[in-house]
Structure 1
Amino acid sequence: MYLYGASGHAKVIIDILGSIGVSVAGLFDDNPDLKELAGIKVLGAFSSKQNLDEELIISIGNNSIRAKIAEQLNVKYGQAIAKTAILSPTASVGEGTVVMQGAILQADVLVGKHAIINTGAKVDHDCRVGDFAHLSPGAVLCGNVSVGEGTWIGAGAVVIPGIKIGKWCKIGAGAVVIRDIPNNAVAVGNPGKIIKYC
C-alpha cells in the first residue's frame, strides 16, 4: 500500500495497516523537506506519470484537499479498516476510506469513498455517510442519519435518529444535532444551531 500525505493522520493509517499485516511501500508528500515518517520513506511529490504497483490511500485529514487529490489521480485505491473496528456484515465501506480503532458500523450502514470514520466513532443502522466525509473521534450517528459529501462531524458530536446533514457542512465538537442541517452550514452547540455558512 502507498499513502499520499505524510502527517499525523498517516501515522494512524500506518498503525492500522501494520496491525492487519499490510505493509506501506512508501509515502508521497508535496513537502520536499519530508524524508521519512514512522520509519517509512517519503518518496516526494506524486507524479501522474507514476505507475503504482499497489493500492493507495489519501492520508490527509482535510476533506476538501482529499477530494481535490482524488479527482486528479487515476490510481487504484485501497482501504484501511482497523482490526478493533466492528463492522456489521451488511455495512459497506467505499474505496479509499479509513475506519479507525474502536469504530462501530452497524447494520446496513453505507460509507462512501475516501471518508474517515475516526477513533471510536459510532454509526448506527441504516446511516449514510457521503464521500470525503469525516466523523471525528467519538462522534455518534444514531439510526437513519444521512451525512452529505465532504461534511465534517466534530469530536463527540451526537446526531439524533433520522436527521439529514447536507454536503460540506461543519458540525462542532460536542454538538447535539436535533434538526436537519442544509448544505454548507456550520452548526455548533446543544442543541445544534447554525452560526454561519461556508
Structure 2
Amino acid sequence: MLLYGGGGHGIVLLSLLQATGEGVSGVFDERPASCLVRGIPIFQKYKPSIFPHESILVAVGDNVQRKRIHSFLRHPIGTAIHPSAVVDTSVMIGPGTVVMHGAIVQAQTILGKQVIVNTGSRVDHGCSIGDFVHLAPGSVLCGGVVVGDNTCIGAGSIIVPGIRIGKDCLVAAGAVVTKNVAHGAVVRGNPARLIRS
C-alpha cells in the first residue's frame, strides 16, 4: 500500500494498516518534513511510475485537499478498515474510503468514495454518505441519514434519524442536528442553528 500524505492523518492510517498486517511501501508528501517516516521512503513529487501496481490511500483529512489529490492519482485506489471497526457485510464502500479505529457502520449503509469514518464514529442503518465526506471522531449518524458530497460532520456531533445534510456543509463539533441542512450551510449548537450559508 502507498499513502499520499504524511501528517497526522497519515500516522493514524499507518497505524490502521499495520494493524491489518498491510505494509506501506512509500509515502508521497508535498511537504518533505513529514513526521510519518519510520524507515518508509518518502517521495515529495507524485509519480505514477513509483510502485505502479500498489494501491494508494489519500492520508489527508481535509475534504477539499483529498478531492484535489484524488483527481490526479493514477495508482489503484485502496480502501482500509481497522480490525476494531464493525462494518456490516451489506455496507457498500467506495474507493479510497477508510473506516478508522473503533468505528461502527451498520447494515444497508452506502459510503461513497474517499470517505473518512474517523475514530469511534457511529453510522447507523440505511445511511447514505456522499463522496469526499469526513465523519470526524465520535460523530453519530442515526438511521436513514443522508450526507452530501464534500461535507464535514464535526467531532462529537449527533444527527437524528432521517435527516438530510446537503453538499459542501460543515456541521460544527458537538452539534445536534434535528432539521435538514441546505447545501453549503454551516450549522452549530444544540439544537443546531444556521451560522452561514
Listed as ranges, the gaps of 5+ residues in structure 1 are none
Which residue does 2:82 correspond to in 1?
A: 82
Residues 1:37 and 1:66: Cα distance change in structure 2 (over 3 Å): same
Task: Give distance in 2, aligned partners of 1:36 and 1:107.
Answer: 34
The 10-residue stretch of structure 1 (25-34 or 119-128) with the greater mean CA deviation from structure 2: 25-34
Tell whether the 8 Å contact from 1:31 to 1:45 is kept in structure 2 after alignment: no
Cα offset for 1:135?
0.4
Q: What is the total number of aligned residue pairs between the two structures?
A: 197
Which residue does 2:19 correspond to in 1?
A: 19
Tell whether the 8 Å contact from 1:11 to 1:37 is kept in structure 2 after alignment: no
Instruction: State the SS of the aligned residue for 1:47.
Output: coil
Cα offset for 1:64?
0.4
Cα offset for 1:154?
0.4
Which residue does 2:181 correspond to in 1?
A: 181
Which residue does 1:172 correspond to in 2?
A: 172
The 10-residue stretch of structure 1 (9-18 or 47-56) with the greater mean CA deviation from structure 2: 47-56
Task: Give distance in 1, aligned partners of 2:57 and 2:117.
Answer: 14
Task: Give distance in 2, aligned partners of 1:162 and 1:36.
Answer: 39
Question: Is the aligned partner of 1:145 residue 2:135?
Answer: no
Instruction: State the SS of the aligned residue for 2:16.
Output: helix
Tell whether the 8 Å contact from 1:98 to 1:116 is kept in structure 2 after alignment: yes
Instruction: State the SS of the aligned residue for 1:187.
Output: strand
Tell whether the 8 Å contact from 2:53 to 2:76 is kept in structure 1 after alignment: no
User: Structure 2 counterpart of 1:102, which letter?
Assistant: G
Instruction: State the SS of the aligned residue for 2:65.
Output: helix
Cα offset for 1:92?
1.4
Tell whether the 8 Å contact from 2:115 to 2:134 is kept in structure 1 after alignment: yes
Which residue does 1:190 correspond to in 2?
A: 190
Deviations 1:41-95 (A, max 9, x none): 2122213555622000010010000001111222210111000000111111111
Instruction: State the SS of the aligned residue for 1:113.
Output: coil
Moved over 4 A (4+): 48-51
Listed as ranges, the gaps of 5+ residues in structure 2 are none
Counterparts of residues 24-39 of structure 1 (less than 5 Å): 24-34=24-34, 37-39=37-39
Residues 1:37 and 1:161: Cα distance change in structure 2 (over 3 Å): same
Identity %: 43
Instruction: State the SS of the aligned residue for 2:43.
Output: coil
Task: Give distance in 2, aligned partners of 1:6 and 1:80.
Answer: 17
Instruction: State the SS of the aligned residue for 1:40.
Output: coil
Which residue does 1:66 correspond to in 2?
A: 66
Instruction: State the SS of the aligned residue for 2:187.
Output: strand
Which residue does 2:115 correspond to in 1?
A: 115
Q: Could you say what the CA RMSD is over the residues aligned between the two structures, in angstroms?
A: 1.4
Residues 1:34 and 1:102: Cα distance change in structure 2 (over 3 Å): closer
User: Structure 1 counterpart of 2:10, which letter?
Assistant: A
Tell whether the 8 Å contact from 2:158 to 2:176 is kept in structure 1 after alignment: yes
User: Structure 2 counterpart of 1:103, which letter?
Assistant: A
User: Structure 2 counterpart of 1:100, which letter?
Assistant: M
TM-score normalized by the length of structure 2: 0.96
Question: Is the aligned partner of 1:93 residue 2:100?
Answer: no
TM-score normalized by the length of structure 1: 0.95
Task: Give distance in 1, aligned partners of 2:119 and 2:189.
Answer: 22
Tell whether the 8 Å contact from 1:27 to 1:41 is kept in structure 2 after alignment: yes
